[in-house]
Amino acid sequence: MIIVKPFKILNWQYLQKRRFLYNEPVYFPAIVFAMLLGMYLDLYFTGMGMYSFPSRPFADVFEIHIVFNLAGLPAFTWFFLWAGIRMNKAGRGLLIVLFSMAGTVLEVLSESLGMFWHAGEWKHWYTFIGYLIFLLIVWNVFKWTNIQEDRGK
């Protein structure tokens, strides 16, 4: 025998139990790491004379393309991480290879537009291998910063 009926208002969508923020992945540490790593690698290779950016903003202040490092690379990294968590290992590996190839193609395109110059000994497969290693490192930093402990044990 039911004495008290539950209110229908208790079944509303916004009153149901929600996921908390600690269940959501944290992108910020991996994005900042990728931005800093990309900036330091650009500084290292431009300092060695392996490549340069002839057409860049604030050319008298920075030797690197600062807009790419502060805006383009974080957006690229966020998209990579966002897509990567939605895939299995094989799909993520394919995504890393595709993004590495895209980096190589964009390098060739930016060379033809006069935005990028590299030394004669630079090979385009260096870019492919570099982005491959870069994305693997960024993915591992992302996994490391999103480790969740077993809370019930």
* Residue extents of the structural domains in the chain: 25-145
User: HSE on the CB side for 98, CA within 13 Å?
Assistant: 10
Mind listing the pLDDT tens digit for each residue in 62-89?
Answer: 888 888 889 999 999 999 999 999 999 9
Give the separation between CA 56 and CA 17, rounded to whole angstroms: 50
Element (H, E) at 93: helix 89-112
Task: Write down the pTM of the prediction.
Answer: 0.79
Confidence label for 153 from pLDDT (cuts 50, 70 and 90):
very low
Asked if residue 37 lies in contact with residue 134, where contact means CB atoms within 8 angstroms, the answer is yes
Give the separation between CA 97 and CA 80, rounded to whole angstroms: 12
Q: What is the pLDDT of residue 90?
A: 95
| Average pLDDT along the chain | 84
Element (H, E) at 150: none
